[in-house]
Amino acid sequence: MIVTRSLNTWEHTEDLLLKSQIIKQTFPDEHYCLDKINTSGFAVAAFTNDNLPIGLAIFENQMFKYMMLVDLKVNQKYRGMHIASQMLDFAEPLIKQRNYLGICVLCQDNNLHACRFYLNNRFEIGGLNTNNYNFTSQMGKQDIYFYRDI
């Protein structure tokens, strides 16, 4: 996703890669500690009827009026079933109880599926960080800040 700003308006376009240019990036398994999560925010999880965990959203407290969504994942087998959208909707009253007015999330510009997801779920682009990945193996990537008012 290519993000630009003109006349106080954020705009975006999509630069689609050839299939041969697409690189799949897999993140390592996380070892979450619920006590630590609850100390700095809260989590919402989704389960099947058989209590199999299939989704997780982790929110962290921030000093401003947007609570940070730091992790959002859905088991690949259950994607496309609106699980992530339902977790975000479920979290809204919990976020309001903490006196926040919205949700903020960072997304890499090369993660087009995630960028589209946020735009389709009432998030708006509110910022762009072009320097986070300098001096790393991911140099050239950018973080897009998405905001959802609640």
CB 65 within 8 A of CB 101: yes
CB 43 within 8 A of CB 88: no
Residue 23 included in any domain? no
- Assign 93 to helix, strand or coil: helix
Residue 20 included in any domain? no
pLDDT tens figures, 58-102: 999 999 999 999 999 999 999 999 999 999 999 999 999 999 999
User: One-letter amino acid identity for 146?
Assistant: F
pLDDT tens figures, 117-147: 999 999 999 999 988 888 888 787 889 999 9
How many structural domains does the chain have?
Answer: 1
Can you read off the two tokens belonging to residue 20? 């041969």
Domain containing 122 equals 2-14+31-149
On whether the pTM is more than 0.95, the answer is: no
Residue 25 included in any domain? no
CB 11 within 8 A of CB 4: yes
Q: Tell me the CATH number at 65.
A: 3.40.630.30
Residue 8 included in any domain? yes
Residue 35 sits at φ, ψ, to 5 deg, of: -60, -45
CB 131 within 8 A of CB 138: no
Contacts of 61 (CB under 8 A, 6+ apart): 40, 41, 67, 68, 98
Residue 21 included in any domain? no
